[in-house]
Amino acid sequence: MAFDIRAIAPDVCDQLRKTDDAGRRPRRIVEEEGGSPLRCCLRRSRPGEAVLLAAYAPLRRWALETGADPGAYEEVGPVFVHEEPCEGPQPEAGPGYPAAMGGPRRVFRTYRADGSILDGHLVEAHRSEDPVAASTLLDVLLEDPETAVVHVRAVEFGCFLFEVRRSV
């Protein structure tokens, strides 16, 4: 099954740079060591980069586009984006699963078209850091006709990393 990995869209990042989804100004951080997962370009921050920590509601954004009503499943959580607009995910990273977003444990959470949670799948490091293994699992999840969208999240912090949809 073909799927699209979606970073936070540039226009949404522009909005988050001004006011985040919790109605606050994002927090500016200059990375000392780097390593923060950037949701604007799906790579890790580098030492010395200026990033913003903002509240983001991924289901709310998806629902605005699709007409879904996630109700109580709507969550707002922390994400890092570049302080200034960036070029987004780069072609050299490839079109598939972004290995830079892998980590100790991930959850692949599936949602129905109405915005309700369908299921959650705990993915250990050996699969979340392996683009082939992670892509294989995403293929399986998207084969379920009830799956409208998949959110990949960090287990330890609970934060949204990126969205996966069937290719159109």
**What CA–CA distances, in Å, run from 39 to 69, 88, 135, 140, 146?**
23, 9, 18, 24, 26
Q: Which of 1-15, 91-105, 135-149 has the lowest mean pLDDT?
A: 91-105
Asked if the model's pLDDT at residue 29 lies above 90, the reply is: yes
- Interval 38-55: pLDDT, tens: 999 999 999 999 999 999
Domain ranges (residues) in the chain: 3-89+96-166
- Interval 79-94: pLDDT, tens: 999 999 999 997 665 5
Round to whole Å and give the CA distance between 134 and 130. Answer: 6
Asked if the model's pLDDT at residue 36 lies above 70, the reply is: yes
pTM: 0.93
